[in-house]
Amino acid sequence: DTEVTQTPKHLVMGMTNKKSLKCEQHMGHRAMYWYKQKAKKPPELMFVYSYEKLSINESVPSRFSPECPNSSLLNLHLHALQPEDSALYLCASSQPYQETQYFGPGTRLLVL
Amino acid sequence: GQQLNQSPQSMFIQEGEDVSMNCTSSSIFNTWLWYKQDPGEGPVLLIALYKAGELTSNGRLTAQFGITRKDSFLNISASIPSDVGIYFCAGQRETSGSRLTFGEGTQLTVNP
């Protein structure tokens, strides 16, 4: 099973809202990733968790707050976002220090 | 910054034709990955390459890890309409840990 699931599939939020994106994998992977992707551009890395600990934060604004409750789950908490944060948010997983990453279907976020 | 040159940027072909795209870099890579992304969906892993010179097939797809470790190509034979999408190469450099470097993508259009 090489499936990574993400919910919700679509999300519309105002700039004062608080929302969360969720990601789940059952492949036994111990590394999980959040990416942001703009239309027709490659994914941009935001955060990496390895063994449930944050190992990489690519200078992401604090209005994005990641959380890894256990080895199968990854959340991204959103607060006070800006319209330019509208994008496809992708979750991925892999074995730690293994380069083969498997992506979820993404959450399409629109900030109004 | 972006360190992978992916070409061509776009391709318009007739159904049944073969397709070739490639990625090159001035840096050495340990792993090359090829993904396909449909609109509104997450990237799907097509082929993973781990050794210089490695040639791997997945159905009508064939990819190679360049001998110099600085390039990779993907071939699609006998294209069909469902091959339409954006193809991304991604590589893991020796010094980048968990980070993948992505190419800018090749937009493939197949005319029936």
> Mind listing the pLDDT tens digit of every residue in chain A (112 residues)?
569 999 999 999 999 999 999 999 999 999 999 999 999 999 999 999 999 999 999 999 999 999 999 999 999 999 999 999 999 999 999 987 777 999 999 999 999 9
Give the list of residues 6+ apart from residue B59 with CB closer than 8 angstroms, or none. none
Rounded Cα distance between A33 and A45, Å, is 7
Flag whether pLDDT at B80 surpasses 50: yes
Residue B7 neighbours by CB under 8 Å, 6+ apart: B21, B22, B23, B24, B106
Nearest to B88 by CA among B46, B54, B51: B46
Over the range B1-37, which residues count as b (16 or more CB within 10 Å of their CB) and which as e?
eeebebeeeebeeeeeeebebbbbbeeebbbbbbbbb
pLDDT band at B99 (very low <50, low <70, confident <90, very high): confident
B31-42 average pLDDT score: 95
> Of the candidates A31, A41, A99, which has its C-beta nearest B33's C-beta?
A99
- In this complex, the residue of B33, B43, B97 whose CB is nearest that of residue A100 is B33
CA A38 – CA A44 distance, rounded (Å): 9
pLDDT tier, B2 (very low <50, low <70, confident <90, very high otherwise): low
Quick check: A99 and B45 CB within 8 A? no
Tokens 């551009």 -> residue: A41
**pLDDT tops 60 at residue B23:** yes
pLDDT band at residue B1, thresholds of 50, 70 and 90? very low
Rg (CA), chain B: 13
- Assess whether pLDDT exceeds 80 at residue B45: yes
Residues of B in contact with A101 (CB under 8 A): 33, 45, 90, 100
The full length of chain B comes to 112
Query: Which residues make beta-bridge pairs with A48?
Result: A33, A56
Average pLDDT in the B71-79 region?
A: 98
